[in-house]
Amino acid sequence: MSNDAFEPRLIGFLCRWCSYNGADLAGTSRIKYPPNMVPIKTNCSGRIDPTFVLKAFQEGADGVLIAGCHPGDCHYINGNYRTAGRYALLEKLLLQMGLEPGRVRLEWISAAEGDRFAQTVREFTEQIRALGPLRWNDQFADLGGGDDQFDDGGEAPSGDRQLEGAAV
């Protein structure tokens, strides 16, 4: 299918000290970037629970950005290392759930990198546009579990079943 008319819905989890301020700097510098991502602030990227990402997909997001301080720059010493560790596991989990690689992205963006923030959103928007809509809830609806929580013990769909329904 053509994805030209598709406007991805993106959620961006930003740590308060680096990436959120980087996004602010993009603003004060008036750097334009696509409007597809809504930022959500946490104190540290280490606060970003993998279930936040799953929740975003469940609610209809097509892609999720996680952004924190550069390695070594964490305001909380090493919270971003926890983020990096969890992200590696999350990627595998999402793959097993049938998501295409690339729907989640981890970036280190400092408070001084407004241009990098804008560029990341530009790239990520195009990346998800190319992947197409997620339509995850439709797939869950097929299985009769569309509105349930993931941790409610609902039967997880097999990878093959997922891919059939996914817009790939």
Partner 1 sequence: MSDQHNGNGGNGRGNGRGQREEKIAVYVCHCGTNIGGTVDVPAVVAWAASQPGVTVAREYKYMCSDPGQDLIKNDIKELGITRVVVAACSPTMHEPTFRKAAADAGLNPFLLQMANIREHCSWVTEDPVAATQKAKRILGAQIHRLPFNQALNPIDVQVNQDVLVVGGGIAGIEAALKLAEAGKHVYMVERNPSIGGHMAMFDKTFPTLDCAACILTPKMSALGKHPNITLLAYSEVTHVDGYVGNFTVTVKKKARYVNTDLCTGCGACQEACVVRKVKSEFDQGLGYRSAIYIPFPQAVPLRATIDPENCLTLSRGACKKQSCVAACGPKAIDFDQKDEEVELAVGAIVLATGFELFDCREEPTYGYGRLDNVITSLEFERLSNASGPTGGHIVLKNGETPKSVAILHCVGSRSVNHQEYCSRVCCMYSLKFAHLIKEHLPDTEVWELYIDMRTNGKGYEEFYKRLMDEGVNFIRGRAAEVTDFAMSPEEEGKLIVKAEDTLLGVVRRLPVDMVILSAGLSPQHDAKEVSQIFGFGCSANGFFLERHPKLEPVATVTDGVFICGACQFPKDIPDTVAQAGAAAAGVLTLVNNVSVKIEPTISYIDPEKCSGCHVCVGLCPYAAIRVNAETGAAEVVEAACKGCGVCVAACPSGVPQQRGYLDEQIFAEIEGALVV
Q: Does 101 bind partner 1 (CB under 8 A)?
A: no
Would you state the structure tokens that stand for residue 89, as one six-digit string?
A: 């596991």
d(CA 15, CA 152): 29
List 65, 69, 90, 166, residue binding partner 1 (CB under 8 A)? 69
Q: Does 35 bind partner 1 (CB under 8 A)?
A: yes
d(CA 87, CA 155): 24
Nearer to partner 1 among residue 122 and residue 161 (C-beta): 122
List 8, 19, 23, 128, residue binding partner 1 (CB under 8 A)? 23
Q: What are phi and psi of 3, to 5 degrees?
A: -105, 10
Q: Does 24 bind partner 1 (CB under 8 A)?
A: yes
**Residue range at the interface with partner 1 (CB under 8 A); choices 66-74, 88-96, 127-135, 156-164:** 66-74
d(CA 41, CA 45): 9
d(CA 159, CA 31): 40
Which residues are bridge partners to 11 per DSSP?
38, 64
d(CA 43, CA 51): 17
Q: Does 145 bind partner 1 (CB under 8 A)?
A: no
Contact residues toward partner 1 (CB under 8 A) are: 9, 11, 17-18, 20-21, 23-24, 26-28, 30-33, 35, 38-44, 46-52, 55-56, 59-61, 69, 72-73, 75-79, 82, 86, 110-113, 118, 149, 151
